[in-house]
Structure 1
Amino acid sequence: MKIVMITGSNRKEATSTVLAKALEGQLRRLFVEVNLFNLYESPLPFYSPDEIFNRHEGVRELQRLLMEADGIILTTPEYHGGMSGVLKNALDHMGQMHFSGKPVLSVSSAGGAVGVSSLQQMQATIRNLHGINSPEWISIGGSQRAIYENESAEGTIVLDYRAKEALSIFMELVKKVSGKEEAFPS
């Protein structure tokens, strides 16, 4: 099973990226193949339908990874009630062929209590790309953000129970949709 994660922040130590790395670690412990595409480390050019950006190495790499993926995880900070501009820009470079029929888990980190608006925006975008939204999402905010920031500084990143449960539900959906019978331990 192959999972592609796109971290949608242009901040080096963004909490949403730390959360993505915790999810990546959990998946690797369960022997799932994970490719993390970090938009901070691999920025993409601004999308323009008049330009042919598929020649850009980063765009081509992300397109290739998504074509091979069985499932996709998107992470973003919440900015002004929406997903980050860099994540939206990356998604604009993609098409239905990259998402159609694939389960997608939406993950957000908000300055307030939770990032519901960004999650709803991501799910609307996924529907328009013909992806399958996971019935659960992951959102951290407030004091939860501090936990991830502290754990990142200490080098230990551990998911809380709710995040593990949402990830498990997502992976069961990936297994069902992909038809791959590889075991995914809970």
Structure 2
Amino acid sequence: MNILVISGGPRKHGRTAIAARFIERTYGFHTVDLSIVDMPMYTGEEDQSSNPFVKSLRQSVLDADAVLLLSPEYHSAMSGALKNTLDFLSSTQFLYKSVGLIAMAGGGKGGINCLNNMRTVMRGVYANAIPRQLVLDPSVFDYDRDGLNREAAEQVDGLVEELKMYARIAKEVKEQQLI
């Protein structure tokens, strides 16, 4: 199954990047890491559609069976890097696509507002953000091994399995409609 991970943390060595690398190693999913790409600021100008990264991103999301969004919570919302990236996408790429959501908590606020913010944007592009969502607190990271502790890894696994289930259902429905 082709699941695309979009790591929305702007810091190369932040917890979002650690979680994304863990998921990539564990499941073999392709990751778009916003901390290392040269993403332009979204302006809505038509000429931005010809940007090579924007074209590649749009095609990657379109081709994916499902998408997994990861973001730190900044000021009760997703990161500006992730929001800017999502602004380049639309229902053309996301229509009925299954999307999983993971927030990195910090600052004692719990991450739920980040999840709600991502869920709202996914509704705006007609994606299907799955019911299961996850907040990863700073204490669940294994910083020495660039990964997650066992309990957090199991929670990620549950989310990934649910995301795969919803992606399979969406694929079956889509195939039936084409008959």
TM range (shorter): 0.7 to 0.9
Aligned to 1:2: 2
Aligned to 1:121: 117
Deviations 1:121-146, CA, capped at 9 Å, x for gaps: 000100110000111012111422xx
Residue identity (%):
24
Aligned to 1:55: 50
Aligned to 1:168: 161
Aligned to 2:79: 84
Amino acid at match of 1:72: V
Runs of 4+ with deviation above 3 angstroms: 156-159
Q: Distance in 1 between matches of 2:156 and 2:111?
A: 14
Aligned to 1:25: 25
Deviations 1:138-165, CA, capped at 9 Å, x for gaps: 2111422xx243331xxx5565222211
CA apart distance, 1:42: 0.8
Aligned to 1:100: 95
Q: Are 1:136 and 2:129 counterparts?
A: no
Provide structure 1 residue ranges, at least 5 long, that are not aligned to the other structure: 29-33, 181-186
Aligned residue pairs, count:
170
CA apart distance, 1:18: 1.1
Contact in 1 for aligned 2:123/2:129 (Cα 8 Å): yes
Q: Distance in 1 between matches of 2:86 and 2:101?
A: 13
Q: Distance in 1 between matches of 2:43 and 2:136?
A: 32
Amino acid at match of 1:81: S
Q: Are 1:35 and 2:30 counterparts?
A: yes
Amino acid at match of 1:55: S
Aligned to 2:11: 11
Q: Distance in 2 between matches of 1:160 and 1:114?
A: 18
| Structure-1-length-normalised TM-score | 0.85
Aligned to 1:31: none
Amino acid at match of 2:155: R
- Helix, strand or coil at the partner of 1:52: helix
Amino acid at match of 1:17: A
Deviations 1:1-25, CA, capped at 9 Å, x for gaps: 2111111111111111211222222
Q: Are 1:150 and 2:144 counterparts?
A: yes
| Structure-2-length-normalised TM-score | 0.88
Amino acid at match of 2:8: G
Provide structure 2 residue ranges, at least 5 long, that are not aligned to the other structure: 174-179
